[in-house]
Amino acid sequence: MRRFARGFTIVRVVLRHGLDEVVLSSFRHPWLHSFTRVITFGRRLDAPRGVRLRLALESLGPIFVKFGQVLSTRRDLMPPDIADELALLQDRVPPFDPAISVATIERAFRRPIDQVFVSFERTPVASASIAQVHFAVIRDRHGRERDVAVKVLRPGMLPVIDRDLELMGMTAGWVERLSADGKRLKPRQVVAEFDNYLHDELDLIREAANAAQLRRNMKDVGLVLIPEIFWDYCHPDVLVMERMNGVPISQIARLREAGVDIPKLARDGVTIFFTQVFRDGFFHADMHPGNIQVSLDPDTFGRYISLDFGIVGTLTESDKEYLAQNFVAFFRRDYKRVAQLHIESGWVPANTRVNELESAIRAVCEPYFDRPLKEISLGMVLLRLFQTSRRFQVEIQPQLVLLQKTLLNIEGLGRQLDPDLDLWSTAKPFLEKWMLDQLGPKRLWRELQLEAPRYAKVLPELPRLMHEYLSRRGQGEGRAELLALLAEQKRTNRLLQALIYGGVGFLLGLIVMQLIARLRVF
């Protein structure tokens, strides 16, 4: 019954905001259009479609707002006017009663709150649809008091999320079946991805693990601080981490006044991003200014502070390699190579014609080279490439979409800090060094080291494996082949030995003759 009522509310909101025009525009069933025209007779719609969609999602509640935020990053699927409007969605909800935070913590740790924390601030510092943050003090393993931030999950979210997701899934099914664009847009897949993403966000242990991994990765870079996780105080519903004290990155005037080198800050942001992406293949993918602060503490002055680790992106070795090569080929204007890389990496179907893709990519990229390099937005180039790929039946990989979104965030942030920031010259030495590492002896040595334990295990087993193989193959052809091979190998070895001994003997002979000749001279 509840599901029915919720479904009814959704239809009402869709009709009130005139979204039937958007939803039904590609539907092939004329009776649906006539029917909605009749039931919405006399309706006036003044705002553009993107604004109406944003307002509708806001009125449907936080889960739909989150859905809109996720959709805004899928610029490979959304028309630009809608994506821009969805990007304005704010996850603003009133805080929940602190008594609920306390109850959640007490349930998680099965102790009264004053036995969990030395002190706990009931008024939250921030509140969003999924969680709320409070400050507190704990006693760590060494008995020291530590200031912490406590993230508490909003209770009862799971059933609400599941109900809304079920309705979204149902609607996506209709769109896929009835809309002419259904096959390309893959709405059911989009909802399934959102489902995964939301359920991940409901597990704060996962977020804590992301933070711990990023902190370890970034330790030697010395440009960014990531809160320490207090694992003894973590639970799927509660995350306790070091409390950070920084100035929000958006307060540039305050940072400048405090003496922070702002252009360096912009360059450091790019370095951090490229290190996370290309060195580690593990990057913070929610880099909006609300999650970034700058430290003014004398020991860590001018360093970034990263917060909120709910969304991270991961890249495989081959993704990283192809991306780096793409960037380098792009800056050399080698569009053929860019096209070949897209095919080799499997980002476009193998039967794509290189020259067609090459000329489409040229049309995307060439206009950028009329501008100074510092004005080229790599995020924008990637976005255009994705849009071009749509014509080539490409299914954009989710990790690349996350990367492109983060790149846009970083560029936006960097240029806000320093309008003269030249992203390419900041990134180029990094990428070139990385490529050298990938292809050079360092990489070979690293791979040998990685493989060594496997060889160490396999080598002593080799005679046994050989024997097993021979007995399995019995006296048949296989055995004869193998024996022939072994005989051949023995012959080759003998030949090599003869050559080496012969060569060494010849050299020794030459040296002795030279010595005798010299002795004669003296």
Ligand X SMILES: Nc1ncnc2c1ncn2[C@@H]1O[C@H](COP(=O)(O)OP(=O)(O)OP(=O)(O)O)[C@@H](O)[C@H]1O
Cβ neighbours around 201 below 10 Å, total: 19
Q: Which tokens go with 457?
A: 């295990």
Closest separation in Å from C-beta 70 to ligand X? 12
Kindly name the residue from 20, 286, 308, 319 that is annotated as catalytic: 286
Beta partners for 284?
312
3-class SS at 286? coil
Size of the site for ligand X (CB under 6 A): 17
d(CA 518, CA 522): 6
Closest separation in Å from C-beta 214 to ligand X? 13
Closest separation in Å from C-beta 226 to ligand X? 9
Counts for the chain of helices (H) and strands (E), in that order:
22, 11
Query: Is 68 a residue that touches ligand X (CB under 6 A)?
Result: no
**Nearest alpha-carbon partner for 84 in 94, 97, 92, 74:** 74
Task: Please select the residue that binds ligand X; options are 171, 291, 404, 426, rule is CB under 6 A.
Answer: 291
Cβ neighbours around 328 below 10 Å, total: 17
Exposure string over 165-183, b if 16+ CB within 10 A, otherwise e: bebbeebbeebbeebeebe
Closest separation in Å from C-beta 314 to ligand X? 19
Find the part of the chain contacting ligand X (CB under 6 A) among 128-136, 170-178, 218-226, 399-407.
128-136
Task: Please select the residue that binds ligand X; options are 161, 241, 360, 400, rule is CB under 6 A.
Answer: 241
Closest separation in Å from C-beta 132 to ligand X? 7
Per-residue contact string for residues 141-170; x = within reach of ligand X by CB under 6 A: --------x---------------------
Residue number with CB closer to ligand X (232 or 488): 232
Backbone angles phi, psi at 207, to 5 degrees: -65, -40
Q: Which residues contact 358 (CB under 8 A, 6 or more apart)?
A: 335, 336, 338, 339
Q: Identify whether the C-beta of residue 396 lies closer than 8 Å to the C-beta of residue 76.
A: yes
Residue number with CB closer to ligand X (211 or 381): 211
d(CA 443, CA 448): 8
Find the part of the chain contacting ligand X (CB under 6 A) among 40-48, 304-312, 418-426, 443-451.
304-312
Query: Is 227 a residue that touches ligand X (CB under 6 A)?
Result: yes
Residue number with CB closer to ligand X (47 or 125): 125
Query: Is 290 a residue that touches ligand X (CB under 6 A)?
Result: yes
d(CA 149, CA 249): 19
Residue 238 buriedness (CB in 10 A; 0-12 / 13-18 / 19+) = buried
Residue number with CB closer to ligand X (277 or 292): 292
Query: Is 277 a residue that touches ligand X (CB under 6 A)?
Result: no
Residue number with CB closer to ligand X (198 or 260): 198
- Annotated active-site residue 97? The verdict is no
What is the chain's length? 522
Is 128 flagged in the annotation as binding?
yes
Query: Is 89 a residue that touches ligand X (CB under 6 A)?
Result: no
Is 264 flagged in the annotation as binding?
no
Catalytically active residues are: 286
Q: Give me the residues that bind ligand X (CB under 6 A), please.
A: 91, 125-126, 128, 130-131, 133, 149, 227, 241, 243-244, 290-291, 307-308, 310
